[in-house]
Structure formats: structure tokens, C-alpha cells
Amino acid sequence: MAGGGSSSLYVTNDEKFSWANVNSALKDYKCWLYGLGFHTMSLPLYILSLFLPTIIKELGYTAAQAQLLTVPPYTVATILTVIVAILSEKTHRRAPFIIASSSLSILGYILLLTAPIKKPGISYLGTIFAAAGIYPSTAIVLSWPAANVSGQSKRATATAMTITIGNLGAVLGTQLYRPNTSPRWYLGHSFALGYLCLNLVVVSTLWFCLRRENERKLERQANGEVGGEGTVKSDEDVRWLFQT
């Protein structure tokens, strides 16, 4: 079959399940880093999704007002998620967008933790920043292994690892917003802030490792070497390099 796209289609349709590929995913440090990348996002993601109305209500609004006030944070988050996803795919970059989005969320939680109680508007702005950063980062980090891992069995295993490791953060997150920590929610907000900072560390590490492996691939290409994950199929096939 001629062309990178046709070859990819042929491999996708004919590949058989292989335990060797499953084992390859388990031994690949990058697959574990993808999982940790989502793990450090899942806790902020789930606690914000579950407790946002409660957080807003404790700023001094009624229950009905709090439900309505969840609309702006989710609206901003939706718009930014679409924009970031498009830019990420066009540039074949993941880490810079995750780092930027997570940093926006970090700013949001800093506002939630430090804003004066008598100024609920500042805390509410913090919820907007938190949502606007968490959702784009989550979308990008979840799709990262699917874009980079070659082989259907290995890709499926890497995706399963990402979801499993990631959701462990969600289990912890549901226990953090306790009534006795209202209205400042220092415990939950502090955990979210800490996890987002860890996300920056994990994503930066993965970014460095992927860039290093891409450099090695380019060296092999320059030397005329072929074989292994990421082999160049054609001059127009840009997917052989890891999305960083």
C-alpha cells in the first residue's frame, strides 16, 4: 500500500491482539507518565464538577443563585476547551497547552484560598479561572496517549492505564469537601492546588522525555535507520514524531 495514511489504515484493520504489546505498554515509562498526568488532573476535575454549586453557595448566595452562577465558569471552560483542542491538534503540541491551562487553574485556587470572605466576587472569579484551566487540560491529557502510542493493543492498554491511574485521584477528591471545612474549604482547595502543581511537574517531565526521544528519531532518520515505534512512512507523515 502506498502512502502513510493507507499503511496506517491497513495496520489498524489487520492487527491482532497481542499480550506482548500489553506488556510493552506496562514496561513503557511514558504510559505511566500519561496516567500520572491524568491522575493529577482528575482530582481537581471531579471535585470542581461535584462541589462547584456548594462552593458558590457558601460565598453567600442562595441555592438557586448558586446553580445559575455555575453557568459562566462552564461556559468559559467550554469555549477554552474547544480552542485549546484545535490549537493543540494543529500544532501537534500538548504539554505547553496543559501547562498554560493548569497554571490558570492554579491562579483560580490561589484566589479561592486567599480572597477575603467579604469579597465573594474575587472568590467567584477564582472558580471561573479554575474551571477554565481544568477542563482544557483534562481534554488534552486524556487524548495524549491515543495520539502517541503505536499499535492497537498497546494503545488500548495505555488508555486503560491512563483512566485507571487517573480515577484514583477522583476517589480521593470526593472525601475532601467536608461540612466542617466550610466556607473556605481549605482542605479541598489545598489538595486541588497541590495536585495542579504536581501536574506541572509530571507534564514538564513527560515533555522533556518526548522531546528527547523525538531528537533520537530524527537522528535515526538522518542516518537512514528504520524500524521500531515511530518509523517514518512517508515524507508527509508527521505522526511518526511524538506529540509533545
Please list, in sequence order, all residues whose beta carbon lies within 8 angstroms of the beta carbon of residue 69, skipping any fewer than 6 positions away: 56, 61, 124
CATH number for 89 = 1.20.1250.20
The tens digit of pLDDT for each residue in 104-131 reads: 999 999 999 998 888 888 999 999 999 9
- Residue 241, domain member (yes or no): no
* pLDDT more than 90, % of the chain: 50
- Residue 244, domain member (yes or no): no
120 near 111, Cβ under 8 Å? no
Domain containing 50 equals 23-222
What is the total count of domains within the chain? 1
- Residue 111, domain member (yes or no): yes
pTM attached to this predicted model: 0.83
* pLDDT for residue 197: 97
* pLDDT for residue 10: 38
pLDDT surpasses 80 at 66: yes
Please list, in sequence order, all residues whose beta carbon lies within 8 angstroms of the beta carbon of residue 226, skipping any fewer than 6 positions away: 220, 232
- Using pLDDT thresholds of 50, 70 and 90, give the confidence band for residue 180: confident
- Residue 239, domain member (yes or no): no
- Residue 17, domain member (yes or no): no
Please choose, from the candidates 85, 108, 100, 109, the residue with its C-alpha nearest in 3D space to the C-alpha of residue 204: 100
Q: What is the CA 193 to chain-centroid distance, rounded?
A: 15
- Residue 3, domain member (yes or no): no
- Residue 31, domain member (yes or no): yes
